[in-house]
């Protein structure tokens, strides 16, 4: 099974940048999108052979997630079961026979870490949610998780110690999740590889110089370790400030 995750930074915008052709080229069984920034009916995209599920934020032009799946899921759930987190369209869960798929757009802690308190609560509640799912069947958790976990996951770690996405608090929450029995699939296969990023600022030609961050992930339950065939970053795909990331899994 091939899975793709991509923060498109506005679905209507990316549609004008060759998204349909890119989508077809992925030839993926499941495609997860984040930061769709649209309400139902604001764009039309219906690829043949896919079921599609959308979760929009109440605030127009903000956040939002979507999933396209060739196989129809057994069930679909929106949000993570906590009312406080049910207004920004940040999580869609699809249940399949052998695993749960959880597509997430994690809240950004914002400038000066202004939203760090909310982010910490989100992380704790999401971890509880994922662990509860994992108790039933394995989990495949993906999306823009808005954290570079280790120093090799961004180009300039020393100058970003208190930046959103690289604070000690955010990185520790990622560690706590992994310690609960989950794997960062890319680092499982590429433990020491540097220069591997999925997001670049639009400023200072960051993408051209590869001054990026790896903040987009596929994380899976530990017991899926032997089923991981490939974990990859499609850094040559443009259309957003993020690039797609992918996973090949024997499920």
* DSSP code string of 160-207: GTTSTTS-HHHHHHHHHHHHTTEEEHHHHHSTT--S--SEE-SSTTTT
Of 109, 216, 107, 227, give the one whose Cα is nearest residue 153: 216
Decide: 177 and 127 in contact? Cβ < 8 Å: yes
| Residue in this structure with the two tokens 């060739």, named with its chain if needed | 70
| Residue in this structure with the two tokens 């992925």, named with its chain if needed | 26
φ and ψ at residue 13, rounded to 5 degrees = -70, -45
Alpha-carbon distances, residue 7 vs 67, 133, 184 (angstroms): 12, 24, 18
Q: Point out which residues pair with 87 in neighbouring strands.
A: none
Question: Could you give the CA distance from residue 122 to residue 27 in angstroms, rounded to a whole number?
Answer: 33
SS3 232: strand
Q: Which of 50, 53, 55, 105 is catalytic?
A: 105
Question: Could you give the CA distance from residue 247 to residue 230 in angstroms, rounded to a whole number?
Answer: 6
Does residue 134 carry a catalytic annotation? no
| Whole-angstrom Cα Rg for the chain | 17
Q: Which of 144, 153, 184, 216 is catalytic?
A: 144
Does residue 55 carry a catalytic annotation? no
State how beta strands 2-7 and 30-34 pair: parallel
Question: Which residues carry out catalysis?
Answer: 105, 144
């Amino acid at each position: 099974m091939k899975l793709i995750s991509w923060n498109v930074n506005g679905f209507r915008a990316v549609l004008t940048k060759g998204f349909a052709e890119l989508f077809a080229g992925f030839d993926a069984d499941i495609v997860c999108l984040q930061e769709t920034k649209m309400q139902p009916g604001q764009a039309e995209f219906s690829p043949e052979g896919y079921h599609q599920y959308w979760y929009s934020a109440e605030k127009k032009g903000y956040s939002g997630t979507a999933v396209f799946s060739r196989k129809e899921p057994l069930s679909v759930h929106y949000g993570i079961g906590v009312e406080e987190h049910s207004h920004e369209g940040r999580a869609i869960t699809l249940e399949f026979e052998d695993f749960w798929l959880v597509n997430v757009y994690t809240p950004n802690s914002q400038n000066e870490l202004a939203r760090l308190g909310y982010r910490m609560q989100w992380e704790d509640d999401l971890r509880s949610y994922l662990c509860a799912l994992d108790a039933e069947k394995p989990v495949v958790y993906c999306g823009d998780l808005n954290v570079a976990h280790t120093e090799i996951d961004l180009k300039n770690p020393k100058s970003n110690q208190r930046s959103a996405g690289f604070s000690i608090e955010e990185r520790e929450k990622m560690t706590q999740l992994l310690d609960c029995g989950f794997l960062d699939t890319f680092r499982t296969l590429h433990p020491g590889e540097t220069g591997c990023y999925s997001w670049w600022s639009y400023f200072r030609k960051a993408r051209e110089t590869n001054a990026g961050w790896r903040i987009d992930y596929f994380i899976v339950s530990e017991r899926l370790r032997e089923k991981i065939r490939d974990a990859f970053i499609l850094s040559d795909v443009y259309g957003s400030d993020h690039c797609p990331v992918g996973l090949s899994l024997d499920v």
